[in-house]
Amino acid sequence: MDAGQTLSETDAPETIDLRRELTETHAQEVLDKLDRELVGLVPVKLRIRQIAALLAVDRVRRRLGLASEAPTLHMSFTGNPGTGKTSVASRMAEILHKLGYIRKGHLVSVTRDDLVGQYIGHTAPKTKEILKKAMGGVLFIDEAYYLYRQENERDYGQEAIEILLQAMENQRDDLVVILAGYADRMDQFFRSNPGFRSRIAHHIDFPDYGDGELMEIARSMLAAQNYHFSAAGAAAFESYIEARRRQPLFSNARSIRNALDRARLRHANRQFERTDPVSVDDLMTIDAPDILASGVFDADRSAGSDRSGGKEV
């Protein structure tokens, strides 16, 4: 069938099961995995499903010879740290691969330092090498606004930007670029670099997690490591979340992971200092003392005076 030619009425199926398209390509499995793995993020998951639906319909239309421009797939993910942007980017790469929009489905995650050189002639080969690794997959650029430093006339970020823009346009059939970072800084970045905005079709905002969602994330993280809270430990961690959120440098799920790592450290030392034998359940249970020893509570009690300089302890 020639480009632009459509199936005849006798050849065309009477009806098409679009959901079957997601199932048979196994894209639906990835969407279900996203629902299971990530707590909350309802608007994000909805948008990802909408993009998957667009691609499934476009896939069917192409098979039927219904000519149209391929969807633009470059994206922007905005939100605070620890809200799941990298995890969603990884699943997005899988979905794009399952539906046939990229060859490999891998994710290459980079920051400014991976793309921008420190002297003349260094940036172009660095950026091109990263693009070579990303071809056939998704290039995820975290804190993308650091590529552009208007205040520094000798900065080489603009060279990386020009190479990226060219690749986003000329290799868009073999590369998807996702830019990520804080919403306000990304807005400023797009205003300063309109070439990026014109090439990005999907802007997805990642909301902060609520306290209940952070608690659910904490339980899930512990379960994955064969730990669990005692009743008192759970109550203490709920208080920890409330206190930590009021302090500087809070990073959603990332802060929760850091807090649990320190709780496990305190738990291990508490068990080690015991003179009596410990049970298997003792080795699995995070209790209130493992949480309440955190300096976060000291800082909170001193009316926001953070003795750790904003660091989580």
Q: What is the pLDDT of residues 104-115, one digit of tens each?
A: 999 999 999 999
99 and 116 within one domain? yes
| 212, two tokens | 């209940």
More confident residue, 258 or 5: 258
| 305, two tokens | 């005076």
Residue 26, domain CATH = 3.40.50.300
123 and 184 within one domain? yes
Cβ proximity of 149 and 183 under 8 Å? no
Mean pLDDT along residues 74-102? 96
215 and 202 within one domain? no
Domain count, the chain: 2
Indicate whether 202 pLDDT > 50: yes
Question: What does pLDDT average to over the chain?
Answer: 90
Last residue of a domain, one of 206, 227, 258: 206
Indicate whether 1 pLDDT > 90: no
Domain membership flag for residue 23: yes
Cβ proximity of 47 and 198 under 8 Å? no
Prediction pTM value: 0.86
216 and 201 within one domain? no
Cβ proximity of 111 and 143 under 8 Å? yes
Mean pLDDT along residues 245-252? 92
Task: Give the full edge-to-edge strand order of the sheet including 138-142.
Answer: 107-110, 138-142, 176-181, 75-79, 202-206
Q: What pLDDT does residue 15 have?
A: 85
Domain membership flag for residue 3: no
Domain membership flag for residue 1: no
First to last CA, the chain: 65
Q: Which domain holds residue 263?
A: 211-301
225 and 202 within one domain? no
Q: What pLDDT does residue 308 have?
A: 44
